[in-house]
Amino acid sequence: MTHELTRRSMLKIGSAAAVLPWVPGLAGASRAAAAQAPGTAAAATTMLRPFGLEDVDLGAGVFAQKRSLMLEFLRGFDERRFLIAFRANAGLALDPSVVPMPAGGWEGLDGEANGNLRGAFTGHFMSAVAQAYASTGETAFGRKLQTLIDGLYEVRGALGNDPVLRTTAGKLSGTAVDIARGTYNYVALPAGTFSGLTSFTFAAWVRPTAAANWARILDIGNGTSVYAFLAQRDGNGRPRFAITRNGGGGEQVLQGTTALPVNAWSHVAVTLTGTTGRLYVNGVQVAQNTTMTLNPAALGALANNWLGRSQYNDPLYAGAYQDVNVWSTALSAAQVAELTAGRAATTSAGAGDALSLPMDESGGLVIADVSGKGRNGSLVRTWGKPSHPGFLAAYPETQFITLETMTTGNYNVVWAPYYTAHKILKGLLDGYTATGDPKALDLATGLCDWMYSRLSKLTPAVRQRMWGIFSSGEFGGVVEAILETYGHSGKPEHLQLAKYFDLDSLINASAENRDILNGLHANQHIPIFTGALLMYDKTGEERYLQAARNFWDMVVPTRMFGIGGTSSAEFWQARNQIASILKDTDAETCCAYNMLKLSRALFAHEQDPAYMDYYERALFNQVLGSKQDAVDPNFPLATYFIGLQPGAVRDFTPKNGTTCCEGTGMESATKYQDSVFFAAEDGSALYVNLFVASTVYWAAQHVTVTQETSFPFEQGTTLKVAGSGAFDLRVRIPSWARGAAVRVNGAAVGTPVPGAYLTLSRSWKDGDTVEVDLPFALRAERTPDDPTVQNLMYGPVHLVARDARTTFLPFSLYATAALDGDLAGALQPVTGKPLHFTSNGVELAPFHEGTTDPFHAYVRRTEPRVVLGSVDSGVANPARADRTTLLDDVWSGAPFAHKPAFLQRLASVTDSWVGAGLLAAADRDRVLEAGRRAAFTTAYAEAADLQGIADTARAAGTLSQGAHTNLRNRLEGALEALEAGNDAKALRYLQQYLDHAARRVEDADLLALLSLGADALTARLRG
């Protein structure tokens, strides 16, 4: 038998054990002492301030690597692509020889929901580039910002102008009128143009420039009940004529067979007479309907007669028109065929007798009618001119106007216009901070002036209704951006404007700690509380602070996934629902981005370490893992949703780019360092919040602090001070970091308490070094709604199982667990792959690796037998109705400082299960015997632990000096015997120890603890 320690080291262990709070009767006092222990941070009395990105440099490591990938994308993406939609909306010319292709996805000219969110990603891009510029100083980023600022300034000036008629080469001789994508222009024809037509022919040359379904070549009607239209493509991509007096359900239809080509001329014609309608494309009949009972005359007087616009909210037609004609008769097939060879005026049909528009204008806003009827068309814009000169957007102001009368959301009509305004405003503010260009601030101030001009005219009830609508009323972090503008402008109207965005139903409920989150759209509401904190700073209204604080507690941890994210299909469910909602639309990345912003803001106010514990979890896992470890010239490669169901695969190119989450992904990747360090507002303290290789330049103290670490691949960090000054250095000890240690210039200092800040107060000198040890341990976190579904954490790192199966993987961890509660025995490191392990037959990897490998963020815990320290008790692991097991109860008390503490927990839990009728008494005895025989560490170390418990009790006054001395003498005899390998002699000393303890120890809890330890050691030696 061999023993690893000496008597001298035993005395050190005994002394160290004296500070651990596991002795019965002393636990409460010890926790209180720990809370007030020298070096732990006291309650905050001052606000903290983050450092600017320019004041913190990232060092080598995983964050710098991820950032470099995003910087490469930002450098290569042509920022002018974002200006195209803005310029089109303002009627500015787009030179195809200079202007690149438009940005796609949501930012596209004909993106999702008719492009109703255009401009938002532009703001994200500006913020990301501004952050990159601040962090790196690269002039390329400054130039990109300048291009966008200058471009947007030109756009705002042009938004108040009349539409501009533009021309292109026609199919026939001469020019054609060209309506550019995104201009919101169309041609309005006079009322009565189609009145009284019982038979008619419509014919035109068209060249669409966008493959937009339902875009109208012609549309006449009185809204969405009575109308007739010719669409370039229907929902199936085919040309379609329809006429109705009873809305969509009563349409009489002519449907073509083949889509009209984009960027190519086609001749289209519709004839209708009697009950027969025909549709022609390029002179060939493609559809006929002989049961049509309606004609324009049957529709009555029509107010709207449009070329290019729909009675519905369909995309406007984009493209060219030439030789548009309407006849009051149905032309023959031969006559229609003639129209494809030249202008109508040169054919046997002649120019249209009801309307004839050659479309050969070179300017102005009038489209001349040569039919003799004087029915000139007018080039108009759907929304007129802005209500205030500060308006700036890539789509019409009508989205904002329509929102004011909406009662239910419809993103095809209105899609979060104030959210878009926020992103543009914030991008401008970040651009101003980075470049100092006064145009950027002028644009931002004007945008706030415009918002005030609209919202100040509305009643509080209207505003409350607007902000409560999903998702049309979503406004993101607009309050933060408005208050930032207010900080520059000082205008009282801007502070009042920020108040207009109070969603009182949510803010008041949260201030009262009433959880009403179930069913709410998550990312629509998280930024409200960051704004509320800033409103608290400006107004002193306590409800804002209380609401933000309570809201955070409603999300963390009750609605939080293991990676730190929240939301399911963008919405919140009821509290404590995690296992039941694991699917491919979990953890929207924007939610994590905004929860980080809120957490850092709360921490700046209150310095509760829990905020930074959460920040670390979400940053090191979801946010890092939301960026793919690759570069693409067209995409930032960032996730929208993160599937957390078994076998999920991350999608790094959602919706073809330019989504909100790809935008926040760009921003996150260019500001990783923004919360590593904070400083007290009065300059008295520097907070080290996160363990990231970095250097902070603290001007207030003329000090530089460099953090050297490869964390999380290294379990700790080193801080080096350059310069000198008297201040507190406050180092966060994460809640997961049991056994943390801190040394200043090589000497141990303080008492690190998990979940607290260790304060080092001294006059710092150039060259001082602080070393922080943060041991990682494996822990399995149960989901609240199914304790068998668990995620695995290793220190701050969320480990995922790489496996393509789509059912939960069975995982056992207890059988190999050490008796102190350390589960690391279940992990086998993979050589050459840091933070990769094998366990239960699969490979585990850190979530932050941005791969497309299928993975399991959660596993199914399966612990069929009670095995303790590899000693099998032979007893099946019983479970309650809620699926928690006996072993779950035992290990929920971990970590255990020593064998007696573990045995005490084991006895207490098994007694409880026997009392509840869930465990037989005989099985309890078998479990207890297995626990006594299981190794905690070495037999020698377990004996040393007993001495430490006695030392602690003596120091606390619960053990007399005489009893303490006698117990120590007998234990030293046992230790000497163990050193000599004489187990029989050690057993005799242990029996004497037990006998003496029974006679001399008066404290029943202490006696039980000492007896458990001595009994267990005896059972183990008898083995």
- 32-46, 223-237, 605-619, 669-683: lowest mean pLDDT where? 32-46
> Considering the chain, what is the average pLDDT of its residues?
93
Q: What percent of the chain has pLDDT over 90?
A: 83
d(C-alpha 712, C-alpha 716), whole Å: 8
837-853 mean pLDDT: 98
- 727-736, 833-842, 1003-1012: lowest mean pLDDT where? 1003-1012
Integer CA distances (angstroms), 524 to 473, 474, 527, 571, in order:
8, 5, 7, 9
959-986 mean pLDDT: 88
pLDDT at res. 96: 62
pLDDT at 89 over 50: yes
pLDDT per residue as tens digits for the range 737-757: 999 999 999 999 999 999 999
Please give the distance of CA 813 from its chain centroid, rounded to a whole number.
31
Which residues of the chain does CATH 2.60.40.1180 include? 675-773
pLDDT per residue as tens digits for the range 27-67: 232 223 333 344 554 444 589 999 999 999 999 999 999 99
- 14-18, 202-206, 638-642, 816-820: lowest mean pLDDT where? 14-18
**Half-sphere exposure of residue 305: CA atoms within 13 angstroms, side-chain side:** 20
Q: Confidence band (pLDDT; 50, 70, 90) for 700?
A: very high
Query: What's the token pair of residue 266?
Result: 């086609």
Residue with tokens 């404007």, as numbered in its chain: 497
Q: Which fold has domain 675-773?
A: Immunoglobulin-like (2.60.40)
pLDDT at res. 92: 92
**Half-sphere exposure of residue 988: CA atoms within 13 angstroms, side-chain side:** 6
Which residues of the chain does CATH 2.60.120.200 include? 166-381
pLDDT at 732 over 50: yes
pLDDT at 988 over 80: yes
Name the residue among 545, 510, 503, 508 with its Cα closest to residue 524: 503
505-514 mean pLDDT: 98
Query: What's the token pair of residue 640?
Result: 């929208």
- 473-482, 539-548, 1010-1019: lowest mean pLDDT where? 1010-1019
823-840 mean pLDDT: 96
pLDDT at res. 33: 33
Class of 166-381 per CATH? mainly beta
Integer CA distances (angstroms), 201 to 229, 309, 330, 331, 357, in order:
13, 19, 5, 6, 14
Number of CB atoms found within 10 A of residue 995's CB = 11
Number of CB atoms found within 10 A of residue 213's CB = 17
Tell me the residue length of the chain.
Answer: 1023
pLDDT at res. 25: 28
pLDDT at res. 4: 33
Name the residue among 206, 186, 214 with its Cα closest to residue 324: 206
Q: Where are the alpha helices (DSSP H) in 607-688?
A: 609-618, 624-625, 660-669
167-171 mean pLDDT: 95
Listed in order, strand segments (DSSP E) in 180-215 are: 185-188, 200-208
d(C-alpha 974, C-alpha 984), whole Å: 10
Query: What's the token pair of residue 575?
Result: 């509290």
d(C-alpha 167, C-alpha 190), whole Å: 22
pLDDT at res. 16: 27
pTM: 0.90
How would you label 428-467 residue by residue, b for 16+ Cβ within 10 Å and e otherwise?
A: bbbbbbbbebebbbbbbbbbbbbbbbbbeeeeeeebebbb
CB distance 570 to 522 below 8 Å: yes
pLDDT per residue as tens digits for the range 306-325: 999 999 989 999 999 999 99
SS (H, E, C) 788-828: EEEEEEECCEEEEEECCCCCCCEECCHHHCCCCCCCHHHCE
pLDDT at 7 over 50: no
pLDDT per residue as tens digits for the range 210-269: 999 999 999 999 999 999 999 999 999 999 999 999 999 999 999 999 999 999 999 999
- 34-38, 401-405, 688-692, 894-898: lowest mean pLDDT where? 34-38
Q: Confidence band (pLDDT; 50, 70, 90) for 22?
A: very low
pLDDT at res. 211: 92
pLDDT per residue as tens digits for the range 271-318: 999 999 999 999 999 999 999 999 999 999 999 999 999 999 899 999
929-951 mean pLDDT: 85
pLDDT at res. 97: 65
pLDDT at res. 6: 32
